[in-house]
Chains A and B, each alone.
Chain A
Amino acid sequence: MDRERPSLAGFLLVAPALAMVGALFLYPLGYSLSAAFTGPDGRPTLAHFGKAFELYSGDILFTIFIVVVSTAATAAVAIAIAGILVLGRPGRAVALLGWLYRFPLFIPFIVAGQCMRTFLAKNGLMNNSLVALGLIDPGQGASLLDWRGIVITFVWKQVPFVTLLLAGAMAALDRATIDAARNLGAGRVRTLFDVVLPQVMPNLTVALTLSFVTMLSVLSVPMMVAGSQPTMLTVDMAFRINAYGDYATANALGVLSYAMTAAAAFLYLRHGLRTGVLR
């Protein structure tokens, strides 16, 4: 078996992918890291970070808040849907939910932002429908085109991905443990949280980590759904480049984004090494 002995062939097989990773990932990553820490005179400096914090400290906290809240809400909704699909009594409602929840998976973020911008506006269909149903007065409709709109759009878009992985993992579990819990009198909710969820935690963790990283890098949604301040770091980076050609501050903001993804990566790797998934 090749695995048992050192091999040049192994390196040659990896080489094409490694060349691409080196040229278009490691080089730009290294370059932007070094540019963020280098002044116009070529000396090391933290001035770009000072400027980034001075101008955008509110947006940094706002970005963390949005992504953490969206990830938590995505987890809650995905667990609810996966739980209904796997533990719910089979019927038309469950079948319909199983069919409908997946649609946003194939909708681009820009289209999701477009849909939500018209749907959640003060005079959008959501408020008009609530008025038509008599649930609110015509003057009471409020626009959700702020942080709530961003969170709603992110959750709407990411829930299908997380639910697919989660429901798949739940469906692959040994039904005997679930049936045993049910036979001993545990309700569906208790079975979900005490028996099913602990067994699929690895799958949930990786799905949420990938969602976290994806949401952190999206530009179109914060730009379209909530244009005003505060906003997310991706919008600030685009603004520094487009309005001022200020690559140094944009790079510093990028490094802060890497730090957030690094935190997610650390949690994922720690979990992977602990459970033996990453061998």
Chain B
Amino acid sequence: MHRHAVRDRLASAGAWALGLAWLAPLLYAAWTAFHSAEYATRFDLLAPMTLENFARAWAAAPFPRYFLNTVLIVALIVGAQCILCTLAAYAFARYRFRGRDLVFGLVLLQLMITPDILAVVNYRTMRLIGAVDTIWGIALPYLTSAFGIFLLRQTFLTVPKELDEAARIEGCGSLGVLWRVYVPAARPIYLAYGLVQVSYHWNNFLWPLIITNSVETRPLTVGLSVFSSVDQGIDWSVITAATLITSGPLLIAFLIFQRQFVQSFMRAGIR
């Protein structure tokens, strides 16, 4: 009995330590952002807090514009992905057509190669169609997602065929069946997938860095990189304040929706 109690306490202490260690870099960023530069690497509980770093960071870059650009990019990508991936996943799950397995294999291939590695050639394509330094240019390579098609196909395969047939007997066409039977059945998957994609594209850095060169199109992450350039000097307090401004909305959204997000993710059953 005594040994069990000791083991439980050790496990509990381990869980606390692991949890706090996991949060330490973020806590440190918050500490630095809310304190003056002299306390950036010194921990003193009585150190005075300040919002000056946030004011300086906000004044140093056009953050409202960066926020607007980021929201537009994310909305465009996630909206387009939901439509294109749904149609493709429905076809892969419920239709038989020539070359289906080959096409699905090509989609799976895309799952293994991230668009970032193809940035050089995609840049040339964007230059050809005049999409460099536009919101469209940032979004285009991501408008369809192999992960989304795969995830939705796996989900659509689990929908009982009887439901499909019943809807057709009731007079639904193919798109009607998709809209009334398959999409509602996959709602938790859409939520989990949507949140992952919002997070990914809110945070995307390399492609927007390559394809943008003006304030009018630059998203938050590219704007943030300006703070770490050598020309700006290294002021950790302002850098971390800018970092928190960038990630803040996403973290707040996560705190609000975390229960739904985690449950949806767990129900997705990705294998």
Total interface residues on A, using CB and 8 Å? 104
Shortest CB-to-CB span from A95 to chain B, Å, is 9
Q: Which residues of B are found within 8 Å of A14, using beta-carbon distances? A: 87-88, 91-92, 97, 100, 103
Tell me the bound Cα distance from A29 to B111 in angstroms: 13
Chain A residues 1 to 51 lying within 8 A of chain B, measured CB to CB, are 1-11, 13-14, 16-18, 20-21, 23-29, 31-32
Interface size, chain B (Cβ < 8 Å) = 95
Q: Is the CB of B269 within 8 A of A172?
A: yes
What is the CB-to-nearest-CB distance from A262 to chain B, in angstroms, rounded to a whole number?
Answer: 7
Interface residues of B in 105-121 (CB under 8 A from A): 106-118, 120-121
Taking a contact as CB atoms under 8 Å apart, the answer to whether B114 and A217 are in contact is yes
A251–B120 CB distance below 8 A:
yes
| A213 lies within 8 A of B112 (CB) | yes
B150–chain A nearest beta-carbon distance, Å: 9
Closest-by-CB residue of B relative to A116 is B25
**Does A123 count as interface, using CB distance less than 8 angstroms?**
yes
Q: For window 188-225 of chain A, which residues contact chain B by CB distance below 8 Å?
A: 188, 202-203, 206-207, 209-210, 213-214, 216-217, 219-220, 224
One digit per residue, 1 when the CB lies within 8 angstroms of any chain B CB and 0 when it does not, for chain A 102-122 equals 111111111110111011000
Q: What's the least CB distance linking B1 to chain A, in Å?
A: 14
* CB-defined contacts of A31 to chain B, threshold 8 Å: 121
Binding site for A on B (CB under 8 A): 8, 11-16, 18-20, 22-26, 28-29, 31-32, 40-43, 84-85, 87-88, 90-92, 94-100, 103, 106-118, 120-122, 125, 140-141, 143-144, 146-147, 149, 157, 161, 164-165, 174, 199, 202-206, 221, 224-225, 228, 236, 239-240, 243, 246-247, 250-251, 254, 258, 262, 265-271
Point out residues on A near B: beta carbons under 8 Å. Answer: 1-11, 13-14, 16-18, 20-21, 23-29, 31-32, 80-81, 84, 88-89, 91, 93-94, 96-97, 99-112, 114-116, 118-119, 123-126, 128-129, 132, 156, 159, 164-165, 167-169, 171-172, 188, 202-203, 206-207, 209-210, 213-214, 216-217, 219-220, 224, 234, 241, 247, 250-251, 254, 257-258, 261-262, 264-265, 268-269, 275, 277-279
